[in-house]
Structure 1
Amino acid sequence: MIALTDDQLLRYARNILLPEVDVSGQATLLASHVAVIGVGGLGSPVIQYLAAAGVGHLSLIDDDRVEATNLQRQVIHDTSQLGVSKVASARDFVQRLNPEVRVTVHAQRLTPDNCMALLQDVDLVVIGTDNFASRYLANALCQQQQIPLVTGAAIGTSGQVSSFDFAHQATPCFECLYPKGQEEQLSCATAGVLGPVVGTIGSIMAMEVIKILVHLGQPLFGRLLTWDARVMDWQTFNYGRAKNCPCCTETPL
């Protein structure tokens, strides 16, 4: 277990005061390596809260650059970063917020050729990109390597979150929940989204990451949490492993 310095004990005191976290849980966070795929509306609060909580190493994966249309919801970027790669902008934000967090940036999209290299040696993957090809790739690799996965999505005034525990072979995967060929084609660029919606969903994703890393409470394994912001309605749906899921039978990459 990592021995915390006096500065760390002070900085993370509110985490440590929680019996479910304590010094040992904080040490686990400091020793953890999390990959964040998508550094936009959902990735922004994920990165904010994981860096603030003291997750020791963040790998950020995104091939986009900051545009003016992003600033309405992607709150780790600002006007001074227009035209800068999102991963570089996010790294600058993390360094200002918590300089002791190590940040590795990959200004590229997840592909079959690079996914193994980009996600090696990580303890958990969290994905908030609207690119379904990247989601399926991350799902297959995480299942193969038994890496926990947290996924979220938001559009318009609604969002959803689920998590996957690939340490157990019978667990459902992302493709069980969203079979290929049935994925939603809408995106924030075409349908719009309110900033607080991605902020709320991204914060829940960050909470799921922390819960899984420190074994706190009951993560959303086998459960889909949905939110309709218009009426402030939350619902949770249970789901199981799909009998004919190709990823669960072959785990292709």
Structure 2
Amino acid sequence: MSALTPAETRRYSRHIVLRGVGGEGQQRLKAARVLVIGAGGLGSPVIAYLAAAGVGTLGVVDHDTVSLSNLQRQVIHRTDAIGTAKAASAEAFVNGLNELVQFRAHPERLEAANAAQLMSGYDLVIDGTDNFATRLTTAKAAAAAGIPLVSGAVSMFDGQVTVFMPEGPQFRDLYPDTPDEADLPACEVVGVLGAVTGVIGTLMAMEAIKLITGTGTPLIGRLLLYDGRAARFTELDYGAA
């Protein structure tokens, strides 16, 4: 791991004095290579907090363009970015926040045919996509590559987050059956409260930072559920870590 520069020491001073992170943890963040799938409602806070935290290499996969309806929850995108690629908009945000982060834009859709290539060179994957098929494809590819995966999802007022490790419980342990698409309506149909994506996306960033720095207990084999209306967290165990 490379030493921190004086500028980095000043920028990340609150991490460096934090027990459980410190200089070594910050060096691990600097050396980390993280791939975020989706620059939408969940990906936005993930990208923002990992860039602010000093993750050395941050890749973003998203084939979509910014639209007006995105701005209610996808907080890294600006009104003047409407019509531009989300990956490019995310890059502009990261460059403006922390020029020390190496950003890699992947303006394409993640599919079974390209998932392994997209994940090559990264040591952590974060899935913020909004459909079951892509989440399953991402989980399969991450498991095959032996890469840890932080996964989250939101709907209406609720959300969830968990961590899949190569040697731990897998996506199919949590979801043994593929649900009918009618049972998983898109947010365009049922809606989603913007702040819920902030809650879950920030929790996903937190899990990523824990995995990178080695501090705390990640959500391996545990699904953390958030009920926004009741302001209540519950936990579901789906396998031994």
- Name the TM-score class by shorter chain: over 0.9
Q: Which residue identity is paired with 1:111?
A: E
Looking at structure 1, the residues matched to 55 and 77 of structure 2 have their Cα atoms a distance apart, in angstroms, of 20
Matches within 5 A, 1:78-89: 78-89=78-89
Q: Which residue identity is paired with 2:126?
A: V
Looking at structure 1, the residues matched to 122 and 134 of structure 2 have their Cα atoms a distance apart, in angstroms, of 17
Q: How far 1:180 sits from its partner (Å)?
A: 4.3
CA contact (8 A) 1:43 1:128 kept: yes
Cα deviation 1:136-181 (Å, max 9, x = unaligned): 1211121122111000011110100000121x2xx21112212342
Looking at structure 1, the residues matched to 21 and 87 of structure 2 have their Cα atoms a distance apart, in angstroms, of 29
Pair 1:172-2:181 in alignment: no
SS state at 1:35 partner: strand
Size of the aligned set, in residue pairs, is 238
Pair 1:153-2:153 in alignment: yes
Q: Name the structure 2 match of 1:186.
A: 185
Looking at structure 2, the residues matched to 134 and 178 of structure 1 have their Cα atoms a distance apart, in angstroms, of 14
CA contact (8 A) 2:36 2:58 kept: yes
Looking at structure 2, the residues matched to 146 and 18 of structure 1 have their Cα atoms a distance apart, in angstroms, of 30
CA contact (8 A) 1:12 1:53 kept: yes
Pair 1:24-2:24 in alignment: yes
Pair 1:239-2:223 in alignment: no
Looking at structure 1, the residues matched to 172 and 107 of structure 2 have their Cα atoms a distance apart, in angstroms, of 26
Task: Structure 1 unaligned segments of length 5 or more: list them.
Answer: 242-253
Q: Name the structure 1 match of 2:39.
A: 39
Shifted more, 13-22 versus 49-58: the winner is: 13-22
Cα deviation 1:46-78 (Å, max 9, x = unaligned): 000000000011110011100000000100001
Matches within 5 A, 1:64-213: 64-166=64-166, 168=167, 171-182=168-179, 184-213=183-212
Task: Structure 2 unaligned segments of length 5 or more: list them.
Answer: none
SS state at 1:140 partner: helix
Q: Which residue identity is paired with 1:127?
A: D
Looking at structure 2, the residues matched to 19 and 5 of structure 1 have their Cα atoms a distance apart, in angstroms, of 20
Looking at structure 1, the residues matched to 127 and 173 of structure 2 have their Cα atoms a distance apart, in angstroms, of 16
Shifted more, 183-192 versus 129-138: the winner is: 183-192
Cα deviation 1:104-138 (Å, max 9, x = unaligned): 11111111211111000111000010122221121
SS state at 2:116 partner: helix
What is the TM-score with the length of structure 2 in the denominator? 0.96
What is the TM-score with the length of structure 1 in the denominator? 0.92
Looking at structure 2, the residues matched to 187 and 240 of structure 1 have their Cα atoms a distance apart, in angstroms, of 28
Identity level (%): 47
CA contact (8 A) 1:109 1:134 kept: no
Q: How far 1:231 sits from its partner (Å)?
A: 0.8
